[in-house]
Structure 1
Amino acid sequence: MTRQIIFLIICVLTVLHHVLSRRGCCGPQQWTGVAIQKLGRYDHDVDVASLADVTTHVAYSYDDRKVSLQQEVYNMTVKSKNKVHVIYEFKEGIEYIITNDNYCISYSIGGEMWSGCVPDNAIHLGTYNISGPTVDIYRVVSPSGATIRFSVSSQLCYPATESLLTQGPVYDLKVSVYENVTKGISDPSVFKVPVFCHHSQIKKKYISSTITELIHSSFSWG
């Protein structure tokens, strides 16, 4: 009986060491993909809930220090649709939000662009098969306090799925599935900032350190 207990402890410690010591991967320096998303929001202070369907076309270029998020947002609660194009230029320290191709807001952002790697503080939850590709699943708590659970392909470290839950009093729950993720940027024009954006007033804004929060923070509920 004692030997069985010792053997069980060794097995548990071995598995625990494997999970804790597993290092996260890094994705490609440039990639594009489509995130199919469902977002729910509840504002505790005013007791109001909203639900939205969002399709986000992502273009990520670490080489150029730029990110483009082209979103189609359907607010199911108020039956409204909006197109939102968010462009991050980390070298210049500016974020542009263009709504419906005719309104632009500029924000001053600080910090370096994230490298596209799994954060060092992410906990590896296991490796699974999702109807074909093998993915590694992680859990991490972001600097802003949001709990993020995400998966990346085991071979190429492409994004696969993710969920995010923010802290109150405004609670957001987002579930995403990535499709058609490919290496490289096929259309560099997605990073081109419209001329009328350069005349907008620049404001200050918190900038996230993860792609998950970055995509989440750009949602429009109009």
Structure 2
Amino acid sequence: MVLRFVFTVVCLIGGLHDVISRQGCCGPKQWTGVAIQKLGRYDHDLDVASLADISTNVAYDYVAKKISLQQKIHNITTDNTDLVHVIYDFKQKTEYTITNGKVCIATPISGEMWPNCVPEDASHLGTYNISGPVVDVYRVVTPGGATVRFSVTYELCYPGTESLLTSGPVYDLTVSVYENVTKGIPDPSVFNVPVFCHHRQMKTNYTSSTITELIHRSLLSWR
């Protein structure tokens, strides 16, 4: 079973540095990094729980209006591993999901690409030191009722940590830590869509799931 995921995390931060609120920041328009993630999921209706380890290579390009998420997803519950590459092309209004280099699903997306900024409705929880970089911590409650808590570096507004808790009936708790975050796109080929994707019929009855929508519109929206 493929546990599809696009992005989340936890703020386990100590050492209060400054509790004075400051205006939300904006990060670079082009950046790459690695998100190390743990996802726990519980389906209340089915009474089924699962756990997964996820490593995601992220490339965010607001100039080209594209996002690439290259994920290695290990479902601990079933001991199954999948490679999932999700490419968002906002100019073409299409999302491509390539699983294990064999299966490609193209789905339409609407709206504009979210900017790389802390949303205006985020609550600033304080400024902290995590044994090195100083970070600002924020909290957002999404329209769907999910709670997102995240940190960004004080100087450059790079992503640090995130946590996401959805409200059910499928409950997701995802924690993530970002590593090796750098400005720019050193390898633009990560946005290349495989040729066989263009020969697949696009799904026209696609509706964003709660988890996908809130991740897109809440987590990525502040970067």
1:156 aligned residue: 156
Superposed, 1:74-113 pairs within 5 Å as: 74-113=74-113
2:8 aligned residue: none
Partner SS for 2:144: coil
2:120 aligned residue: 120
Whether 1:135 aligns to 2:135 is: yes
Partner SS for 1:209: helix
Structure 1 unaligned spans of 5+ = 1-14, 214-222
Partner SS for 1:105: strand
Mapped partners of 1:187, 1:211: distance in 2: 23
Q: CA RMSD in A?
A: 1.5
CA shift for structure 1 position 95? 0.3
Structure 2 unaligned spans of 5+ = 1-17
* Contact 2:27-2:116 at 8 Å conserved across structures: yes
Mapped partners of 2:93, 2:148: distance in 1: 25
CA shift for structure 1 position 129? 0.6
Mapped partners of 1:65, 1:37: distance in 2: 25
1:48 aligned residue: 48
1:10 aligned residue: none
Q: Flag the structure with more relative contact order, 1 or 2, with Cα contacts below 8 A and sequence separation at least 6.
A: 2
The AA in structure 2 aligned to 1:112 is: E
- Among 204, 207, 216, the alignment partner of 1:205 is 207
1:169 aligned residue: 169
CA shift for structure 1 position 212? 4.7
Identical residues among aligned pairs (%): 66
More displaced, 203-212 or 189-198?
203-212
Whether 1:193 aligns to 2:193 is: yes
Mapped partners of 1:91, 1:131: distance in 2: 41
CA shift for structure 1 position 199? 1.8
The AA in structure 1 aligned to 2:68 is: S
* Contact 1:109-1:205 at 8 Å conserved across structures: no
The AA in structure 2 aligned to 1:71 is: Q
CA shift for structure 1 position 197? 0.7
Which structure has the bigger radius of gyration?
Answer: 1
The AA in structure 1 aligned to 2:207 is: K
* Contact 2:141-2:147 at 8 Å conserved across structures: yes
The AA in structure 1 aligned to 2:135 is: V
Q: What TM-score comes out, normalization by structure 1 length?
A: 0.85
CA shift for structure 1 position 37? 0.2
Rate the CA distance shift 1:212–1:166 in 2: closer, same or farther, 3 A: farther
What do the CA deviations read for 1:126-181 (whole angstroms, capped 9, x no partner)? 00011200000000012332210000000000000000001100000000000000
Rate the CA distance shift 1:151–1:90 in 2: closer, same or farther, 3 A: same
Q: What TM-score comes out, normalization by structure 2 length?
A: 0.85
Alignment length (residue pairs): 196
